[in-house]
Amino acid sequence: MKLRLKYTGSFVSGFLILALIFFGIFITLIMLDKKIFTEKYYFKTQFADAAGLSSSTPILFRGFNIGRIDDFHLTDENNVEAEFIIYEGFQNKIVKHSALNKSIDPISNASSLTFLEGPDRDAVLPEGSFIPSINSEEGAKLLASGKIEKKGNLLYNILTNLDNTLEVLSVKDSANQNVLKITIASLNVLVKNLSSVMGKLNSLADNANVLVEDNNSTLNQALINIAVLADDIKESNKVLKSGLVHLDTLIVAYSNPGGLIKDIIDSSGTLTGNAGILLEQSAELATTINKEAYKLPVLLNNLNTALRELNLTLEAINTSPLLNIEEKKETKKAFGRKINPK
């Protein structure tokens, strides 16, 4: 103790210096990871939206972190313009016809940017060049021309294809929609008329009730209502007939396998292509699941053990004398008067 008091200054200085060294190590680690001392090369890109983007979203190329997003903003044309950094040593990967692929993991909701390298590795682009994202028109053209190959999360790809399929199904300019529209409009009128008839029938029933009470004027009113109702039913019948004719035309059109049904499901032929890709990816997913299936018995066995242990624990809790709740003691009474516990 005396020694400690004698060298208090040294002990305290050592303690503080060591803590400062640890602080320095943490700061250095952060600086190294953020590549603060590395030379950076700036490039530009454009995205359809900024969903999942942040000012530090990393850019990955074959699993390597080759850069990150530096800044992004919304333009007057409602595009998202972004500036990104490529770290020293990877600048030669930025070649002509390269693109960026922004994907959001549907499970973790984390976004990632993948760099898709162009075919000509010698055509290195200078700093400040524009690299399209595959969501943009230019990027889509590059993808369609086969100059770049989109690789990403399997689940994400399946969901994207499903999304495309649903988009195809909700066609906006199909001629068949006219027939459907007319049919739906006719049915709508019919339903309105039927509703009106029901209202009048209710009113008639009310009048009939009053009639029972021997009121002659109400009887007359009821007879008039019946006459009006007959006219309305005649009108409704006409609309119903028209609606049925349209429905009949529609059914005939759909019953032909080469007719409307084909057009409405796959008017542009994209669905067939997407379904093919979807099936391939589903097969891939099934293979992956098959590979992992052998783990299921082990998992079930573990679950079984866990449940058995849970059962034992619950039994122990149930039978524990410490957890038995005693009934509240009755309030003591003395000479017939309650004593208030304080």
Partner 1 sequence: MVSAKNPVLVGKIRSITYFFNFTIEIFYQIIPTFKTKNVSALVLLRQILFTGVEALTLTVFAALVIGALIIVQASAINPNFVHSQMLYSILLIIITRELATLIPALIVIARSGTAISTELGNMVINEEVEAILSFGISPISYLVVPRVFALVFSLLPLAFFFNFIGLFGAGIISFLFYDVDFMDFVLKLAVELSIKDILLTISKSVLFGLSIAIIACYNGLSVQKASTEVPQKTSRAVVESIGTIIFIDVLLALLFQI
- What is d(CA 1, CA 3) in angstroms, rounded to the nearest whole number? 5
What is the closest distance, in whole angstroms, from the C-beta atom of residue 322 to partner 1 in the complex?
26
Give me the helix-helix angle, 216-255 and 176-212, nearest 10°. 160
What DSSP character marks residue 322? G
- What is d(CA 73, CA 51) in angstroms, rounded to the nearest whole number? 12
Tokens representing 148 are: 């770049």
Binding residues vs partner 1 (CB under 8 A): 4-5, 8-9, 11-12, 15-16, 18-20, 22-23, 25-27, 29-30, 32-33
Distances (CA, A) of 138 to 42, 47, 79, 243, 273: 20, 11, 13, 48, 22
What is the closest distance, in whole angstroms, from the C-beta atom of residue 62 to partner 1 in the complex?
17
What is the closest distance, in whole angstroms, from the C-beta atom of residue 22 to partner 1 in the complex?
4
Q: Residue 133 forms beta bridges with which residues?
A: 100
Nearer to partner 1, 57 or 193 (CB): 57
What is the closest distance, in whole angstroms, from the C-beta atom of residue 89 to partner 1 in the complex?
16
Nearer to partner 1, 52 or 58 (CB): 58
Query: Exposure string (b/e) for 135-154, b if CB count within 10 Å is 16 or more?
Result: bbeebeebbeeebbeeebbe
Nearer to partner 1, 21 or 323 (CB): 21
CB 76 within 8 A of CB 93: no
Nearer to partner 1, 19 or 198 (CB): 19
Nearer to partner 1, 30 or 162 (CB): 30
What is the closest distance, in whole angstroms, from the C-beta atom of residue 70 to partner 1 in the complex?
17
Nearer to partner 1, 35 or 141 (CB): 35
